[in-house]
Amino acid sequence: MFFDSILNSSSVSILLPLILVAVGFLAGYFFQKQKSHVSTLVREAKLKAEQIQKLEKASDDLSKYTRALSSKEFELVNANRRLRELENAKSKFVSVTTHQLRTPLAGIKWTFNMLQTGQLGPITSDQKEFIDKGVESTQKMIQIVNDLLHINLSEEGIADALRFEPVDISALIEEVAAEFFSPAGSKKINLSVQKPAGALPPIMADRGKIKMALENLVDNAIKYTPTAGQVTVVISDKNLNSANAGLEIMVRDSGIGIAEKDKSKIFQKFFRSAGAVSAEPDGSGLGLYIVKDIVEKHAGSVWFESEINKGTTFHLTLPLKQK
């Protein structure tokens, strides 16, 4: 009844416009909403298009860089090949020169030895002094040539082929010491060898290479010890009965010593301390690098202890057998 009266009454004329307004309002609202949704989609599409453009540009840049990189790589490969060629030429040059120098040097040494030992007739003490100097210089030259040859071969990977044989280390050390009595004597340095009383077993080693390592250590000990000092080569058998049986050799001097700041660089190729340069201007900085290389190729080890102005001891261990 109530609703009938409402529907039938004049209130319809009031409600209808209201409904129309509400419908209009709702349609407007949905239209606005749809419009803002569409504009969001347009914005997003624009953003995506910009991103695609950026990606296309990045891809272009990337291909440019890739092309530049491969041309650089090509240049690098060429430069490397050229470097290898130069390296080979240098190695060949050093190898030929050092080999060529060895023969005449051996001849000079042999002649000096004949003169020194009086085999070519008696010599005066003045003459002996000069001949001793000649022997010393020849010995130095031989050592430099041998060092260069070793480094050259080592860098080519050839020196890996060591010739192992049983070596009487005690006799070898006496031989090395004999070579240095003259240079030690001219600096009034007392050079001595200390070894255990009993006979020592032979060690498996490359005799020539171990001799070279010992020569470098004894040479340094004499070079870096002032006049009237002491250089001792000690052979120790304390490790003979250990699991890793071997001999230890020490080269001890009372020389200039090695400063703390230099200790980590001592085995580096070409390193020379300031003290060493002023004590002995002529030096290559190659000796200890070679010593380490040789000893490590024998599965041994080398180290030192030193105190500035008190002296230095180089230790070198060599196993009896090679695995």
* Binding residues vs ligand ADP (CB under 6 A): 216, 220-221, 224, 253, 255-258, 266, 271-273, 276, 283-289, 312
Return phi, psi of residue 220, to 5°.
Answer: -60, -45
Name which of 177 and 276 has its Cβ closer to ligand ADP. Answer: 276
Name which of 312 and 317 has its Cβ closer to ligand ADP. Answer: 312
State the minimum distance, in angstroms, from the CB of residue 144 to ligand ADP.
9
State the minimum distance, in angstroms, from the CB of residue 314 to ligand ADP.
7
Helix/strand/coil percentages in the chain, nearest 5: 65, 15, 25
State the minimum distance, in angstroms, from the CB of residue 240 to ligand ADP.
26
Name which of 139 and 273 has its Cβ closer to ligand ADP. Answer: 273
Longest C-alpha distance within the chain, in Å? 161
Determine the Cα angle at 24 with ends 21 and 27, to 5°: 150
State the minimum distance, in angstroms, from the CB of residue 113 to ligand ADP.
25
Collapsing DSSP to helix, strand or coil, 42 comes out as: helix
State the minimum distance, in angstroms, from the CB of residue 227 to ligand ADP.
15
Q: Which residue's Cβ lies closest to ligand ADP?
A: 287
Contact 240, 247 (CB under 8 A): yes
- H-only helix segments in 117-203: 125-155, 169-186
Both tokens of 295, joined, read 């000893």
Name which of 163 and 261 has its Cβ closer to ligand ADP. Answer: 261
Name which of 139 and 320 has its Cβ closer to ligand ADP. Answer: 139
State the minimum distance, in angstroms, from the CB of residue 220 to ligand ADP.
3
Ramachandran assignment for 142, one of left (phi > 0), alpha (psi -120 to 50 degrees), beta (any other):
alpha
Rounded CA separation 133/138 (Å)? 9
Rounded CA separation 109/115 (Å)? 10
Name which of 138 and 306 has its Cβ closer to ligand ADP. Answer: 306
What is the torsion angle, in degrees rounded to the nearest 10, for the CA atoms of residue 55, residue 56, residue 60 and residue 63? 70
